[in-house]
Chain A
Amino acid sequence: SQQGEEDPQALSIQEGENATMNCSYKTSINNLQWYRQNSGRGLVHLILIRSNEREKHSGRLRVTLDTSKKSSSLLITASRAADTASYFCATDVNYQLIWGAGTKLIIKP
């Protein structure tokens, strides 16, 4: 598997439910970033978590980082229709920013 691989590839939930996406990586990182991309638009930065941090919050978003497992999760609480988008993680490692393939999230009304 590649660095910064998201899981699942696609997720469909009911509005109001929580959505959890995961990102796994292989080597030590400086930081890990999560981005959102709405259909037909550019990517928008959500959260950056540094390697010495374990959890960060931003509104309805919660990101955790487990460096021992080389994984991160993005939790969106109380999902809304507007959260429908693709979510990407990017890992800062060895002078490169490596992007995952993304998780496509669909929020059903």
Chain B
Amino acid sequence: DAGVIQSPRHEVTEMGQEVTLRCKPISGHNSLFWYRQTMMRGLELLIYFNNNVPIDDSGMPEDRFSAKMPNASFSTLKIQPSEPRDSAVYFCASSLKSLAVYNEQFFGPGTRLTVL
């Protein structure tokens, strides 16, 4: 298996522009997680999906952020409009998860976002 695939790997955009990050989880995994990592705030869970349904989006910073998972093999994280403080590395991870227990998560390589 190729592992979790994220695209793009790097994104540089200007403030106010829309940014879309993409993720393909490992085939057969039923849970998908979006994280943001910065030096100041560390690793933050933004949202996670179980069987394509958003379960916990309490970490989504504000209405400018939205995430979708139209099917088991694809998810997007969109920021509109983007702001300089959104600059971070965004990770997608997938897992086989039961309702009550978190198992091993497999992380993608991340998307490094820079908003100028």
A41-B109, A92-B102 are contacts. A99–B43 as well, Cβ < 8 Å? Answer: yes
Q: Are A48 and B104 in contact (CB under 8 A)?
A: yes
What's the dominant secondary structure at chain A's contact region? strand
Determine the residue in chain A with the shortest Cβ distance to B6.
A42
Q: Are B104 and A92 in contact (CB under 8 A)?
A: no
B17 at the interface (CB under 8 A from A): no
Mark contacts of A77-91 with chain B using CB atoms, 8 A cut-off: 1 yes-contact digit, 0 otherwise: 000000000001010
A30 at the interface (CB under 8 A from B): yes
Chain B interface category by residue count: 10 to 19
Q: Are B45 and A97 in contact (CB under 8 A)?
A: yes
Q: Are B101 and A30 in contact (CB under 8 A)?
A: yes
Determine the residue in chain B with the shortest Cβ distance to A43.
B107
What's the dominant secondary structure at chain B's contact region? loop
Chain A interface category by residue count: 10 to 19
Cα A41 to Cα B111 with chains together (Å) = 10
Q: Are B104 and A97 in contact (CB under 8 A)?
A: no
Cα A102 to Cα B43 with chains together (Å) = 9
CB-contact partner of B100 in A30, A41, A48, under 8 A: A30
A45 at the interface (CB under 8 A from B): yes
Chain A residues positioned under 8 Å from B109 (CB to CB): 41-42
Chain A residues positioned under 8 Å from B91 (CB to CB): 42-43
Cα A102 to Cα B104 with chains together (Å) = 17
Cα A45 to Cα B107 with chains together (Å) = 9
Determine the residue in chain A with the shortest Cβ distance to B112.
A40
Q: Which residues of B contact A (CB under 8 A)?
A: 4, 42-43, 45, 56, 91, 93, 99-110
